[in-house]
A and B are shown apart, each in its own frame.
Chain A
């Protein structure tokens, strides 16, 4: 309990909240880098996933590439980024974007592909343009699974942003790296609590978004089935099974 008490004291010390190395500043740095990486990854992966998911043929190569892309270690990319552009936030940003891309792409792709072709045909038969088929039919149905992909990426990115401290940048990783350097495990633990807290907040936000993202029609359809099936929420395993390899 003594250790936890010290961590509590660390959080309570107003001095630890102020200045460049203060918790408020480090939290913002961490959030800014993680958010930037996530937004860039979304801007690239969501349109790509939507377009390739709609076309019947071309997609599987891209999904296989993305699946292999999930294998690429962030820390190694970070190291390569340092060689290429030096230390600081830029190599970290590159590594984080590459980390976030594959799940968002694969989930978006799968989400669009999973939409019942009969539904899409019906929409076309009603005279919808391709753009409105995408916007009014495919996107709403695909949205929950897409959000789940972004949720997974967000958690990974927030946790991995700590590595930026290894290449001379800030964020909450500073507490871990600087704390370990002087064997101040109270500070390290404080940093971990903050990062884990940020992951939990992000999970909560996405859970909330998911609740609103399921369009009312689908929610009504699914409601009776929910009692029979154990799993009603799209998960990584669904994607694993659909995408397979």
Chain B
């Protein structure tokens, strides 16, 4: 039994509903972006510190990678739900889950980016008398930007896709996911379609935006790319 067959005379999109709810949809879109950026921001801060520690003390890498990997493997729906007894039906619940999904992607990309700096560059810097710390901040991290940015890209779009699932926690959660859950619960196609299409659009737009920022930040990479 499809929603279409339940509501046979229902058009695919009721534009009057969309018109009546423009402000509501806009607010959800803003909430969606807020939840995404807060999660990626906090996730990046934590991952950055963890990565600096792991770059300094190598043995830290494996346990951090394993723990963040396990967090990443827990189904998103389940993590949202499991945090409810601890933090309740709040934004905090959603954010904890969202942050924990960004950690592994960001952590690994930062470490891999710095690891990927050629040894010759490192040796030149050491030869020029750079201290270990100055070398990291002025040479290795800037050179790692492309890899770090691709990690940020994956983390951001993943989060955009996970935010709607937080809508399962209640009617004030999950940004555009609220529209999807409203649609699923009421067999009402219009919000379902609007929520899903806007989520996809948001993910793709953010993805392309980050790619262009990445290009702008790393002109040397583009030049190399053009040669090959």
B53 interface residue, CB < 8 Å from A?
no
- Identity of the chain A residue whose Cβ is nearest the Cβ of B189 in the assembled complex: A83
A237 to B112, CA, bound (A): 6
A41 to B78, CA, bound (A): 25
Q: How many residues on chain B are close to A (CB under 8 Å)?
A: 59
A169 to B90, CA, bound (A): 27
Question: Interface with B: A47-55, A73-81, A139-147, which one?
Answer: A73-81
- Is the Cβ of A241 less than 8 Å from the Cβ of B116? yes
Residues of A within 8 A of B197 (CB): 76, 80
Residues of B within 8 A of A241 (CB): 112, 116, 146-147
A-B contact count (CB 8 A): 154
Residues of B within 8 A of A237 (CB): 108-109, 112-113, 116, 147
B33 interface residue, CB < 8 Å from A?
no
- Identity of the chain B residue whose Cβ is nearest the Cβ of A198 in the assembled complex: B73
B92 interface residue, CB < 8 Å from A?
no
A240 to B148, CA, bound (A): 10
A230 to B197, CA, bound (A): 43
Asked if A73 meets B200 with Cβ closer than 8 Å, knowing A79-B195, A240-B109, A245-B150, the reply is yes
- Type the 1/0 row for B132-155, where 1 means its CB is closer than 8 Å to any CB of A: 000000000000001100110110
B184 interface residue, CB < 8 Å from A?
yes
A189 to B196, CA, bound (A): 28
Taking CB atoms and an 8 Å cut-off, the chain A residues in 49-79 that contact chain B are: 67-68, 70-77, 79
Residues of B within 8 A of A79 (CB): 180, 183-184, 192-193, 195-196
Residues of A within 8 A of B128 (CB): none
- Is the Cβ of B74 less than 8 Å from the Cβ of A192? yes
Residues of A within 8 A of B1 (CB): 86-87
**Other CB < 8 Å A-B pairs besides A75-B199, A79-B196, A230-B58, 13 of them?**
A68-B207, A70-B154, A70-B157, A71-B157, A73-B200, A76-B195, A76-B203, A79-B193, A82-B3, A155-B73, A185-B84, A195-B74, A196-B70
Task: Give the 8 A-B CB pairs with smallest separation, nearest first.
Answer: A73-B161, A86-B2, A237-B112, A71-B157, A79-B196, A71-B207, A76-B199, A76-B196
- Identity of the chain A residue whose Cβ is nearest the Cβ of B191 in the assembled complex: A79
Question: Interface with B: A126-134, A160-168, A209-217, which one?
Answer: A160-168
- Is the Cβ of A76 less than 8 Å from the Cβ of B180? yes
A160 to B81, CA, bound (A): 15
- Which single member of B147, B180, B199, B207 contacts A240 (CB below 8 Å)? B147
A167 to B154, CA, bound (A): 26
- Is the Cβ of A176 less than 8 Å from the Cβ of B161? no
Residues of B within 8 A of A245 (CB): 150, 153, 211, 214
- Identity of the chain A residue whose Cβ is nearest the Cβ of B61 in the assembled complex: A230
A75 to B158, CA, bound (A): 11
Most buried by B among A73, A159, A167: A73
Sample of 27 A–B contacts (CB below 8 Å): A67-B207, A72-B200, A73-B161, A73-B164, A73-B203, A79-B183, A80-B193, A80-B197, A82-B184, A83-B3, A87-B1, A87-B2, A162-B75, A167-B184, A173-B77, A176-B77, A195-B75, A199-B73, A235-B108, A237-B113, A237-B116, A240-B151, A241-B116, A244-B221, A245-B150, A245-B153, A245-B211
